[in-house]
Structure 1
């Protein structure tokens, strides 16, 4: 497999990876502008803009966009994260030029028809309502807010309903004007693609874009805190966050192995101790999330209100125990899971295109896959135990509770248990 890169004169970046034997490809544009690039009055605008990309351009109606890709059996989609907004398509090899033309059209030429804005406003408000009705979804928004108080990175990606109700065409155009320059865009393609053909098309489609000043988001500071929302639900939901490394920090590999050993699968400590031995929950897991300058270890579980304190206490105890007796076998298993998950995922051209774009965003380069595997292999049991020690005793902490949680111990109580 061959990774190739190119940069146009205006700063627009292109990265491709040819995957021999495939008859399909994934191609898209990743814009380095997401939720954390919004000012407070813009909260939710990046996601709103992503929705509007499919509602018509200067050349195509909303139906034309959908039919152009689906008529050839392809798939088109988009997503918004806190640091990126992505627009991408999956098509057969012969339809790559069509897919790139459509993706470029929706990114560069949206018309923001006022009638379509009103229709999509209603769709997004329904999406917000759905999230609020999904406890194991909304609790992570509350946890993020507690982790990063009064910062763009701590705000919900969907935005509050009151702001979404107020956005208009000028707001959308303003955000595009501020953040959708060629230097903020990465064209990534993987699968049955020809690098030179992609570069030539990109030059034609994006080469005339005028450069814009890069507006760097404000640095993040993990604050910690507690959110508690009582509601008559069947389950009490708990989510914990601990400050961890960002994705430019080599410690990110240690953090990922640690979270996998702690709560990443059926053999993990939390799953075995909390679910299998004690039957306190159906779902419990730990995961690592990372941004440019910060990161979090997140733990989640759902249980009954009267068992919440027991579950939370055992979770803290298991974190403390991992600092003392995390074994070589556990680290080896977590390492194998991490490598297998990454390598299996990269059999998909869509996942490969996303990985390429992410690496170019982070490093402005694509390190060899073997380098990443070597970094994972270099993590030792001592490294993981040191990370576990920091998470159990030193790292800042945030807590979110939802459901029948009125009698649950506060954050201060869990902090005392960490210190005991």
Structure 2
């Protein structure tokens, strides 16, 4: 499978990968306009705009948008992240032109009907309320805010309710005008697609757009650190810890991911075995690495009782500290195999492959081959993983978020001292 990249004269990019044997395709537009591209008074508008994309265009009503894709058995959806907003569809091979037409329509011709804005405002406020009522969801927003205090990348994607309540039609249209230029857009497709036909479709739908720079570029991220403690009489105490990690382009990203998998990526991981299986301190515990274009985080999460929270927090940092010294070759080999298998299995889905194409092209300006990526994973040594762990734990920046009966939890400063001891 070969990746093809083409750039239109106005800067609009097309990236495509044919997957032989498939009868369907995934395609969409990824826009370099997410939460970190918002001003403080715009927090939540990128997500609001994503919702409004399906609420009607100059050519189609909201129902007609849904019917156009579902009449041919496909599906259409969207999501907002801190760095991108995506509008994508999955259809059969012969329906790729239709999907392209619908996606272009919702991006280029939204009407932003005032009645529909009010309806969707209510939906988003319900979504915010649901997140606030879901402890193992909202705790990651609080953790992000502590990791990147006072920065766009640290703000919640949904935005605060008071901001969502204030957005107007002009606000939505203005964000599109400021951030949705052709140079910020990538058409990515994978599966049963014809690369030449895809470029023709892109030219027909987006080639007329004038090139323009975004009005609000993302400011460089600075990992800070701090503690958010929300004491509430819940059944469980929720504990989340974050350390600064490498950005998506850094060489150490592979060592970071392998370290996170070995620490908390599965049932054989250290944290799962030590804290759940051997000590019974929790039901859920995991570690993961998240990366952005210029920064990254390693995150740990666990849920436990208020009485056991202190022991769990202390043993978590003890286990991490010990792993930086004695992570075994067997653990690294297992984590490396999990990482490669997870990546390759996931990329058997054309939707995941299209997302990978867009993400890599946006950040790197190219799409490394899977062979190159697996070689870089295989090149990570046990020493690399240990060194990464020691370096990460030795940095000053650490963030923590607690929610529930957390009165007995140690402070972040206490945990930092324990790591340094």
State the match for 2:208 in structure 1.
208
1:321 counterpart SS class: helix
Structure 2 stretches lacking a partner, 5+ long:
none
State the match for 1:54 in structure 2.
54
Instruction: State how far apart, in whole Å, the 2-side matches of 1:235 and 1:177 are.
Output: 45
2:352 counterpart SS class: helix
Alignment coverage as a number of residue pairs: 420
Instruction: State how far apart, in whole Å, the 1-side matches of 2:195 and 2:26 are.
Output: 13
Q: Is the 8 A contact 2:313 2:409 kept in 1?
A: no
Q: Is the 8 A contact 2:289 2:296 kept in 1?
A: yes
Q: Is the 8 A contact 2:146 2:225 kept in 1?
A: yes
Instruction: State how far apart, in whole Å, the 2-side matches of 1:164 and 1:312 are.
Output: 36
What whole-Å deviation, never above 9, does each CA across 1:44-97 have from its counterpart, x for those lacking one?
000000000000001000000000000000000000000000000000001110
What whole-Å deviation, never above 9, does each CA across 1:278-308 have from its counterpart, x for those lacking one?
0000000000000111100000000000100
What whole-Å deviation, never above 9, does each CA across 1:295-343 have from its counterpart, x for those lacking one?
0000000000010010000000001101111000000000000000000
- Please show how residues 362-381 of structure 1 align to structure 2 within 5 Å: 362-381=363-382
What whole-Å deviation, never above 9, does each CA across 1:330-378 have from its counterpart, x for those lacking one?
0000000000000000000000000000111011111111111111111
1:33 counterpart SS class: coil
State the match for 1:260 in structure 2.
261
Structure 1 stretches lacking a partner, 5+ long:
none
Q: What is the root-mean-square deviation in Å for CA atoms of aligned residues?
A: 0.7
Instruction: State how far apart, in whole Å, the 2-side matches of 1:218 and 1:3 are.
Output: 31
Q: Is the 8 A contact 2:289 2:299 kept in 1?
A: yes
2:159 counterpart SS class: coil
1:305 counterpart SS class: coil
2:409 counterpart SS class: coil
1:165 counterpart SS class: helix
- Please show how residues 272-291 of structure 1 align to structure 2 within 5 Å: 272-291=273-292
Q: Taking structure 2 as the reference length, what is the TM-score of the superposition? A: 0.99
Q: Is the 8 A contact 1:190 1:349 kept in 2?
A: yes
Instruction: State how far apart, in whole Å, the 1-side matches of 2:54 and 2:290 are.
Output: 29
C-alpha deviation, 1:395, in angstroms? 5.0
Q: Taking structure 1 as the reference length, what is the TM-score of the superposition? A: 0.99
1:91 counterpart SS class: strand
- Please show how residues 299-378 of structure 1 align to structure 2 within 5 Å: 299-378=300-379
Q: Is the 8 A contact 1:29 1:88 kept in 2?
A: yes
State the match for 1:173 in structure 2.
173
C-alpha deviation, 1:134, in angstroms? 0.3
- Please show how residues 13-412 of structure 1 align to structure 2 within 5 Å: 13-214=13-214, 215-412=216-413
Instruction: State how far apart, in whole Å, the 2-side matches of 1:390 and 1:2 are.
Output: 37
